[in-house]
Amino acid sequence: MTVRTFSLVSLALSAALGGGALAVDAMNVVTQSLWWPVGVAVVTASTLLARWWVARAVQGSPMGFVAAVNGSTAIKMLSLLALTAAYLITHEEGRVPFALGIFGVFAAQLVLFVWDIASLMRQDKKKS
């Protein structure tokens, strides 16, 4: 997948999941605040950054690829942890729906990311 295609698919996935949360009654408290769209945007932005970084490292050395994967994973996980902790500290209501909802967005973006990087690796092996 090209960078542009991945970006569009990632943004569409986030829009579908972020907007789909509006249809879930348990998410009403969460979706009415600014935290939900910001959370979805943080997860999406970290996924796009991670994809860019790892895709550049595919052509480089194996050690550089491993460093890119580990670094991007750390960025994604720590940004999600900081976001979730900030929400849990500042809000009394909607803690569980927010945590589960943002984790769902994270998991969906992670599946897309891993699938795309795996296909990039297969393409890189075919070129060699």
* Alpha-carbon dihedral sign for residues 65, 115, 49, 76: negative
Q: Mean pLDDT for each consecutive 10-residue tract of the chain (128 residues)?
A: 91 93 88 91 94 88 90 92 93 91 94 91 72
- Amino acid identity, residue 53? W
Q: What is the pLDDT of residue 71?
A: 93
Q: What is the pLDDT of residue 24?
A: 87
What's this model's pTM, rounded to 2 decimal places? 0.88
Q: What are phi and psi of 24, to 5 degrees?
A: -95, 120
Q: What is the pLDDT of residue 22?
A: 86
Q: What is the pLDDT of residue 127?
A: 67
Alpha-carbon Rg for the chain in angstroms: 16
